Structure 1
Amino acid sequence: MSSSNTTVQTINVKSSDTAFFHNNVDFCVGTGRFGLALTKEYLDELRFVQEEIGFKHIRGHGIFTDDTAIYHEYEEDGITKVEYNYTYLDRIMDEYLKLNIRPFIELGFMPKDLASGTQTIFYWKGNTTPPKSYERWCDLVVALLTHLMERYGEKDVLTWPIEVWNEPNLPGFWEHADMKEYCKLFKETFTAIKELNPAFKVGGPAICGVKDAEWIKGFLDFCKENELKPDFITRHHYTIEFPEADGHYDYSVLMDEEAGFANLQSTRDIIDSFDEYKGLPIHITEFSSSYTPKGVIHDTNLNAALMARQLSRLGDMNESYSYWTFGDVFEETGVPFSLFHGGFGLVAAGSIPKPTFWTFKFYTDLKKLGEGCVFKNDNAVIEKTAKGYAGVLFNESSDESLDIKLSLEDIAKGEDADNEYTLILKTVSPKTTNPLKLWHDLGEPATPNSEQTKLIKSAAFPQVTSDRLTASEGSISFDQTLDPETVVYFELSKSKVKSDRGYSYERTINTR
């Protein structure tokens, strides 16, 4: 991609500057249904993600669906009895803990034996009807949590957030999108969990996009009337208009980002309008650009740049925000037909990182190094560090380059005013980091062989460049041009060259 238009932006930063930036990028990430964690490819992808990023929690559907096989009813002496089977649950949770990730438990969907109806959703037929017995539903939830505490320790399990159901404001996910029935489900579930142990953190209503203001207010009105105090509120956030389907794929038109942020703020405002719930944390338990697992935008550099801006702003009004999802092992609309199919994942099959993966990696690295945000706008987040500065720069435009002229003032003082610094730049752009293009140029093999996978993966990593800069009167300036749809991570840190006796870098590279 080339651009003949360039926008110039000057950024001047002082170490005493401050800007609000709540960076909780690594708190949680989404997954397909829990049963997929029984497969090797799923665990390979999650292992790669955890090694590079290291999310604290993982949230997915289907902890109670029949492929995890927890809930069973049987007849004995003419009496219907219930038994639980934790074989698969334990196998899944054991793998999660090995990878140092804990569940953000979404309670759903309904086991077939416990369901009041036959409505299902997705290729894997998750039942989305209320329980035929709320007593047995609550017994199931309490038994699950009791088992988890016995196996993994009460202290640990009590830190695992619990969300009641998923998107009950959509009729496909909750029969008739019945708010009254959902509120009953929440009350019964919330009460049962708090009676088991009041230290559990429980929230809802996990709504997405339709009548969200009505649902948030209605839910809190119900909680107030019934003297319930959820520990947090959950909702979802996607940034596209209704997509156009073509074959196996969905093509999306982006919505106005500012309208999306305003919608999130409206949820904050509704919660804070209740004296009882003012300041209650909001967890976005799903977010991405497109809400379809066939959304081709997910595989692109544009998505990486879009998510860079989202991550810079989502903490303004939310405690956490969970990207949907970490990997492309996902079957809501069926088994994918091809390697790059618009899947939600940060990584594709073969643990091939998509450009958006690096956006999350960059913000995670910034969180580890950062000691306070000094600058934030629609193209940059910059933090001071123990040795200098670090930041994420991004350009969402698809047709204009962005030339950022960055001046980092009072980086060094006194005797250190003229010290040398190392500048590390990691660039993710259509030119430098574009596995989608290489796959296309190879002829779009649906399931690449091992050599093709290795080649595609080699094109999926950032371009790393470096320089040595000298502070002048305590300040350092450098220019960075961002091509369209580009994300750049930089670290500027004080360093000193300590050459071995007789070694000269300058003589080495100038041998002719």
Structure 2
Amino acid sequence: MRVSVPKEPTGRLSDAWRYCVGTGRFELALRRDYQDSLALIQREIGFRYIRGHGLLSDGVGVYRPYEHRGARHVHHSFTYVDQVVDAYLDLGIKPFVELGFMPAELASGDETVFWWAGNITSPRSWPEWADLVRATVSHLVDRYGLDEVRGWPIEVWNEPNLKQFWAGADQDAYHRLYELTAHTVKEVDAELQVGGPALAPGAGDWLVRFADFVASRDVPVDFVSQHAYTTGPAQHVPFGTHQRLAPASRLLEQFAGPGRQLRGTALAGLPVHITEFNSSYRPDNPVHDTAFNAAYLAPVLAAGGDLVDSFSYWTFSDMFEEVGVPTALFHGGFGLLTHRQVKKPTYHLYAFMARMGELLLARGQDHLVTRDATGRVAVLAWAPVDLTEHDAAPAGYTLALSIPVGAPQGTAFALRSSVSDEAGNAWAAWSAMGRPRSPDRRQLDTLRELAEPARRHQALPIADGRVDLDLTLDRHEVTLVEITAVADETPPWWDGSRILGSGNEQED
């Protein structure tokens, strides 16, 4: 059955999908490969904010205690902070500030998380923690200006409901941390945005208890944050993980969770930011590298903005070392890009979204249709995935649309860009190469070429202001079709049959 797309917009397409993107720990941004990757992302997609862990961890070197003349002092150093934030702003992206983890010499214990040992314990000196927060936020304001930093969300810690990220998953201790931190941020300037609690999925009533606590203590909260993933327990193999996936609709259910839980509380109606989301929560799950991942997440990008103010893909690049230095180019990393800027299929899902128009015409279980101010119509379509038979998911999925265009008759030019199991899939090409752990320059060039979407074009006849678009989608395909009415400027003397000099030799 052909779906008739309305001529008039039904609203505007939310850009919540591009509000923020995740990154590896803060100081990784000092590396050339990181900055090259972020520059590419910003040219072709263009995120507004970037969020990652470890701003206050030892690798950034902000907290520097010392002794002088028998007295203990603390120096706050922002050498690396300045370099990273300057680089972000030069690339057109702003920090979504996460305050964590604990500097080792300020920590009350030695429990850490990740290969790079982020300390997850509360401060042994709460006044020194407040001084650290105050100094950091004040420095950002002094360097970048109050008007600028007022626009940067400041999030307190990461996933405190998990014992891996906050010692004992002690909610009372987190409440104390949040209260002190939020008041300290507001002491710098009352209009700075502070929020949390950045909960991992499965937090139960943590968010409701957080809402009750901040209301009872009159603690400032400007936004609420949570994370969303859909994979089950990890099945470990050497340098990798496999997991079962829940349907992608479960991500949308998680997006909707904070608004539902906070209904009737003092935090009802606050902005909700999903500051991490992906299919798997593991940085070594090969599903991230596949075309399946792109098709799986397509309906989430298409509809997620109706539920939250932002949802941040975790992460933009495989420059990420939570479980150690990666052992191969493709290793199941979170990134839209591998090291050395090889694009994954999910990268193209985002690049396709970046080419959608602002006006929403239609949205279905397998498609999204928009129009921009120039009249260009963009169709994003995806083949629904099969979670039960991943290796036997059907190909040949069909979709028929009737599309309104900006002319009553004539022809329209349609440009189609596609990624699938076969097209625009560097992971599949790398597998066919024998999975070289460290591809040489020639192999890298080949992978970059094969990572580009397959492109084709066609002329579509316009009848009564519409064109018929018939799509057959390959296995795990995500496709973008851009349609513009043709203003024909062919000169009257043009005759394609004479390109090789045939026809009437007498000059017209």
1:213, 1:267 within 8 Å by CA — same for their partners in 2?
A: no
Q: 1:118 pairs with 90, 104, 110, which one?
A: 110
How far does the alpha carbon of each residue in 1:131-155 deviate from its partner, in whole angstroms, 9 at most, with x for none? 1112111111111111112212221
CA distance in 2, matches of 1:277, 1:509: 73
Tell me whether 1:29 sits opposite 2:21 in the alignment. yes
Tell me whether 1:399 sits opposite 2:389 in the alignment. no
Between 44-53 and 501-510, the greater mean CA deviation after superposition: 501-510
CA distance in 2, matches of 1:29, 1:472: 42
1:271, 1:280 within 8 Å by CA — same for their partners in 2?
A: no
How far does the alpha carbon of each residue in 1:4-53 deviate from its partner, in whole angstroms, 9 at most, with x for none? xxxxx532112125267533222111000011111111111111111111
Q: Tell me the residue number matched to 1:310.
A: 300
Aligned-CA RMSD value = 1.8
Counting matched residue pairs gives: 495
SS of the residue aligned with 2:463? coil
CA distance in 2, matches of 1:196, 1:497: 60
Closer/same/farther in 2, CA of residues 493 and 117 from structure 1, 3 Å limit: same
1:116, 1:129 within 8 Å by CA — same for their partners in 2?
A: yes
Q: Tell me the residue number matched to 2:269.
A: 279
Q: Tell me the residue number matched to 2:6.
A: 14
Q: Tell me the residue number matched to 2:476.
A: 485
CA distance in 2, matches of 1:303, 1:510: 51
1:240, 1:289 within 8 Å by CA — same for their partners in 2?
A: yes
Q: Tell me the residue number matched to 1:376.
A: 363
How far does the alpha carbon of each residue in 1:365-418 deviate from its partner, in whole angstroms, 9 at most, with x for none? 11xx32x21211221111123314212111132324321111124x34xxx411
1:15, 1:384 within 8 Å by CA — same for their partners in 2?
A: no
**What's the TM-score, normalizing by structure 1?**
0.93
CA distance in 2, matches of 1:278, 1:492: 41
Q: Tell me the residue number matched to 2:425.
A: 434
Q: Using the TM superposition, give the Cα deviation of residue 256 of structure 1 relative to its aligned residue in structure 2, in angstroms.
A: 2.8
Pairing of 1:341-360 with structure 2 (within 5 A): 341-360=331-350
Pairing of 1:169-184 with structure 2 (within 5 A): 169-184=161-176
How far does the alpha carbon of each residue in 1:255-304 deviate from its partner, in whole angstroms, 9 at most, with x for none? 13334433332321112222x32211110000111100001100000001
Q: Using the TM superposition, give the Cα deviation of residue 82 of structure 1 relative to its aligned residue in structure 2, in angstroms.
A: 0.5
Tell me whether 1:296 sits opposite 2:299 in the alignment. no
Q: Tell me the residue number matched to 1:450.
A: 441
SS of the residue aligned with 1:220? helix
Q: Tell me the residue number matched to 1:3.
A: none
Q: Tell me the residue number matched to 2:375.
A: 387
Between 470-479 and 18-27, the greater mean CA deviation after superposition: 18-27
Q: Is there any run of 5+ residues in structure 2 with no aligned partner, and where?
A: 386-392, 504-508
2:249, 2:300 within 8 Å by CA — same for their partners in 1?
A: no
Q: Tell me the residue number matched to 1:59.
A: 51
Closer/same/farther in 2, CA of residues 164 and 78 from structure 1, 3 Å limit: same
Q: Is there any run of 5+ residues in structure 1 with no aligned partner, and where?
A: 1-8
SS of the residue aligned with 1:100? coil
**What's the TM-score, normalizing by structure 2?**
0.94
CA distance in 2, matches of 1:493, 1:243: 47
1:302, 1:396 within 8 Å by CA — same for their partners in 2?
A: no
Tell me whether 1:93 sits opposite 2:61 in the alignment. no
Pairing of 1:146-157 with structure 2 (within 5 A): 146-157=138-149
Q: 2:490 pairs with 479, 499, 502, which one?
A: 499
SS of the residue aligned with 1:272? coil
SS of the residue aligned with 2:455? strand
Q: 1:198 pairs with 176, 179, 190, which one?
A: 190
Residue 402 of structure 1 aligns to which amino acid in structure 2? Answer: Y
Between 9-18 and 92-101, the greater mean CA deviation after superposition: 9-18
1:235, 1:283 within 8 Å by CA — same for their partners in 2?
A: yes
Larger RCO: Structure 1 or Structure 2 (Cα < 8 Å, ≥ 6 residues apart)? 1
Q: Tell me the residue number matched to 1:188.
A: 180
Q: Using the TM superposition, give the Cα deviation of residue 214 of structure 1 relative to its aligned residue in structure 2, in angstroms.
A: 0.9
CA distance in 2, matches of 1:301, 1:396: 12
Q: Tell me the residue number matched to 1:4.
A: none
Q: 1:250 pairs with 209, 223, 241, which one?
A: 241
CA distance in 1, matches of 2:204, 2:90: 40
Between 449-458 and 226-235, the greater mean CA deviation after superposition: 226-235
2:16, 2:304 within 8 Å by CA — same for their partners in 1?
A: no
